[in-house]
Chains A and B, each alone.
Chain A
Amino acid sequence: MGDVIVTKNLVKNYTLGKESIVRALRGIGFTVQEGEFVAIMGPSGSGKSTLMHILGCLDVPTSGQYKIDGNDTSKMTDNQLANLRNRQIGFVFQSFNLLPRTTAIENVELPLVYHGSRNARKLAMTALERVGLGDRMLHRPNELSIGQQQRVAIARALVNDPSLILADEPTGNLDTRSSEEVLALIQSLNREGRTIVLVTHEPDISHHAKRMIRLLDGQIVVDHAVANPLDARTILSSLPPEEKQ
């Protein structure tokens, strides 16, 4: 099993004004292997967003090394990083970030459009079917429930077959049932062998992962396996049946 993420002594400093420096990351080093499901926890200000941005190649560290799939990101140009984001990373955001007025299938196709794939439509259909929205392909985001919207976003993250799925508070805007549905989907993707890094501040959510990394003040304070990960399918079956309107 290969290493998907290797970080060594990551440091990120922000300069605010003239003299004050915010040390967001103070030497982070960890490795994520293929097929892992890691939750990154931490209170606000702990540096988890910064770490997330660096892992997502949206930002570069001040010092230290970050390799994704063996590619060292420190020497890459903007365009190379964009291609890396396009091919190696699938993003899932708290607020979905779907394009309005654009059908589900077109949203899912978008990474493929920038990738220049030939059979984009077919791959997008497969991805939407994978998240259980095969019958909603031509719906626009405003015609979908918020749970469904997040599943479209997951399909978009999947469609380029990335090495890593990076989910930033994916359930932050969802109710309990939708959250568990999304987590069940993420868990099943993980069972298929996909590597997942999930950033959250909710312990309930992080307990769905197999490994937990806790940050505090820009440093890793806890990094351990989750003893008995919660299974979203079990939780779903224990919830009261959905109220039909």
Chain B
Amino acid sequence: MKHTREPKMPAWNLWPRLKALGVGLGACALALGQALAQSSTQPLPQVHLNAEGLAPRPIEELTGTTVARYYALAWHEMAGALESGRTAALSDEFIGVAKERITRRVNEQTQAGVHVRIVDHGHNLKAVFYSTDGAAMQIFDTAQLEIQTFDGDKLLDTQTAPHEYMVLMTPGADRWYVRDLQEVSAKSF
């Protein structure tokens, strides 16, 4: 009869436990990283800019492309911040009053335990004013958004109606900034 006995693990031999702990921590870090990166891995929303008949200054093609790109980036960042509750997700696409307002909203949401998920189906922009010196552009945006509001994990409300926004954008050294973003009713257009 063969009698085998597991050798008693000495108290100082923590390697197997550390290995298990490491695997666990790695899995947690991976999951956390995926969760944090989720917003940034979302594709940029589709943005179409119509600048036909823009006055008093016409728009250059490159300017139109740049405006659309940075507006898409701004929405991408805002959606990420509103969902994650992290104001760090907002970088330089918003400036001035627009940035202050979104930052305050995100902070208060976090305090209330609320978060918002925006499923962005695209934006149709109509440029309505471009100052002669090129210092400001006013745009109306018709956005197709699905906005889900959560308290913790509980879905409180879902809104799918089109949203209209009045936007003021100003140029910087290498980009266009969103200086004002104000939701308006369609009759304001």
B is a partner of A: no
B-binding residues in A (CB < 8 A) = none
A-binding residues in B (CB < 8 A) = none
